[in-house]
Amino acid sequence: MQQEQHRTNIVLDESVIQEAIALSGIKTKRAVIDMALKEFVAKYKRPDLRDLQGKNWFADDYDHKALRAGTDVSD
């Protein structure tokens, strides 16, 4: 599947770009910016743990203490 691409001209802080290249090992500015945008989107798609507070995501019979003790919880 071919992704739609757009050409754009933007002014970037060269020192930040060079630092990102050095830290990531990515060879090109384009690849570093592409990776940064993908990580940005992924970060904001993840649920905020504070929004999950008070919500029970476990089965009603889930017993974490029994699992830690190594006892069989299926009995």
Q: Does a structural domain hold residue 75?
A: no
Using the predicted structure, report yes or no on whether residue 24 has a pLDDT greater than 90: yes
Q: How confident is the model at residue 29 (pLDDT cuts 50, 70, 90)?
A: very high
Tally of structural domains, the chain: 1
Q: Does a structural domain hold residue 9?
A: no
Determine the pLDDT at residue 66: 83
Q: Does a structural domain hold residue 6?
A: no
Q: Does a structural domain hold residue 2?
A: no
Q: Does a structural domain hold residue 41?
A: yes
Q: Does a structural domain hold residue 3?
A: no
Residues in Cβ contact with 21 at an 8 Å cutoff, skipping those fewer than 6 apart: 27, 28, 29, 32
Q: Does a structural domain hold residue 1?
A: no
Q: How confident is the model at residue 64 (pLDDT cuts 50, 70, 90)?
A: confident
- Domain range for 28: 14-69
> d(Cα 73, Cα 63) in Å, to the nearest integer?
7
